[in-house]
């Protein structure tokens, strides 16, 4: 209660916003809860997609790095053999 009363002293509009958000019936409260849950699930799904995309990018970068390292090793071996014949 203290937190709300402090907020209402800062801005008269805040109190109206809070009053408008308070459900007036159990049906409205249920709808608000369902909406909040759906929004939370959607946010979670989007975060999981971002994480999967990041993991895929990391795996691709690792594979590219391995290919580059292998190509460099082959080049070094060929260069070593070439110089051995000189």
Number of domains in the chain: 1
Residue-wise pLDDT for 22-71, tens only, equals: 888 989 999 999 999 999 999 999 999 999 999 999 999 999 998 888 88
Residue-wise pLDDT for 2-31, tens only, equals: 444 454 455 555 778 777 778 889 899 999
**Measured distance CA(57)–CA(71) in Å, rounded:** 21
Q: Which of the pair, 86 or 37, is modelled with greater confidence?
A: 37
* Domain span including residue 26: 2-85
């Amino acid at each position: 209660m203290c937190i709300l009363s402090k907020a209402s002293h800062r801005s008269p509009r805040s109190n109206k916003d809070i009053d408008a958000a308070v459900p007036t019936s159990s049906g409205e409260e249920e709808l608000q809860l369902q909406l909040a849950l759906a929004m939370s699930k959607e946010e979670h799904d989007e975060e999981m997609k971002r994480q999967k995309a990041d993991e895929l990018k990391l795996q691709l970068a690792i594979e590219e790095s391995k290919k580059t390292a292998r190509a460099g090793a082959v080049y070094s071996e060929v260069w070593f053999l070439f110089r051995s014949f000189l």
